[in-house]
Structure 1
Amino acid sequence: MYDILGILFLSIVLPLIIIGHYTTKWRTSRSLTNADQQMLEELWDDSQKMESRINALETILDAEVPDWRRKV
């Protein structure tokens, strides 16, 4: 009797426990940590600053060297 219960436990219950464990781990790892969220916000701010600087440089180049885009 105990042999059958052991086999059922190993073949049915244990795999379900393992699948549940790794599913929970996978769900929690999908979300960003606070440090990741902060780094992402800083990168976003930096990219916005860089975009405005590039736009300013392009405006200056358009005024001073009208055909600079064709040279690049």
Structure 2
Amino acid sequence: MPDGVFAVAIIFMVIVAPVWIIFHYVTRWRIAKTLSADDEQMLSELWHSANKMEDRIRQLEKILDAEAPGWRAKA
């Protein structure tokens, strides 16, 4: 009987334990890879801010084009 227990222990250590550890860390990696609710909200706010800044820059460029037509060549 002790030989059977020893064989089961060896099989567990060689096959089951490594697979178990690999799946554990793969699961942890997938959980860490996803965005939390706070991260999603912050990303949404940053996206909105970037769009507002892009609109402002376009408006400023239109104003500069009207008031100082050669400003792009100077920059």
CA deviations 1:20-56 (Å, max 9, x no partner) are: 1111112222211000000000000100110111011
Tell me the TM-score normalised to structure 2 length.
0.89
> Residue 70 of structure 1 is aligned with which of 62, 65, 73?
73
Q: Secondary structure at the match of 2:35?
A: coil
Q: In the alignment, does 2:62 pair up with 1:59?
A: yes
Runs of 4+ in 1 over 6 A off after TM superposition: none
Alpha-carbon shift at residue 3 of structure 1 (Å): 1.8
Number of matched pairs: 72
Q: In the alignment, does 2:27 pair up with 1:24?
A: yes
Match of 2:14 in 1: 11
Tell me the TM-score normalised to structure 1 length.
0.93
What 5-or-longer segments of structure 1 have no aligned partner? none
Q: Secondary structure at the match of 1:32?
A: coil
Q: Percent of aligned positions with the same letter in both sequences?
A: 50
